[in-house]
Amino acid sequence: MDQITVKAEAKVNPTEDEEKVKRAIQNVILSPSFEVVPMGREKFVVATTSHERDGLAKLYNLFRQERILDAARKALFEGLSGNTITFYLNKQVAYVGHVSFCKPAAESPLGPIRIEIACENSQELIDWLAPKTVGGRPVSE
């Protein structure tokens, strides 16, 4: 598979510890580089990583451990636009090492983590990351 670029960003609320927001992102993405970006009165943690599939190994494993391949596949396809996949994860859930998809606003009290994955063949990436299942088991594995 070609190069994959992953970008994750999350707002750091005044009541939050910046390091905890970074940890939430690190729990779902492998070895990101962090940047704290001020935007007016707010600040955001922006994490990026460029690898082949290994940058998504944590998500790959979490989707299977949590047994949410079908939900993950649906969320990834809903966020597919050209060669980019965008989806949102609950920040608090990610902090404790789990995955829960959410909407861009209102579902995650502290705001979501926005994940954007860019790659040459998005369909192939989704098929690898969250394959179709039969009887709860991945078809392609």
Give the 3-state secondary structure of residue 51.
strand
Residue 51 located in a structural domain: yes
Model pLDDT for residues 81-100, shown as the tens digit of each residue: 999 999 999 999 999 999 99
Residue 126, domain extent:
4-130
- How many residues in the chain? 141
* pTM for the model: 0.91
- Any bridge partners for residue 126, and if so which? none
Could you read off the pLDDT of 32-64 as tens digits, one per residue?
A: 999 999 989 999 999 999 877 778 999 999 999
Does 138 fall in a domain? no
Whole-number Å distance between alpha carbons of 141 and 131: 8
Q: How confident is the model at residue 71 (pLDDT cuts 50, 70, 90)?
A: very high
- Judge whether 121 lies within some domain: yes
Q: Tell me, what CATH number does 76's domain have?
A: 3.30.1440.10
User: Is the residue at 35 inside a domain?
Assistant: yes
Q: Is residue 99 part of a domain?
A: yes
Number of domains observed in the structure of the chain: 1
Angle between helix 122-129 and 69-78 (nearest 10): 160
How many Å apart are CA 138 and CA 10, to the nearest integer?
A: 31
Give CA torsion, residues 25, 140, 66, 30, to 10 deg: -20
- Is 60 domain-assigned? yes
Residue 105 has pLDDT above 90, yes or no: no
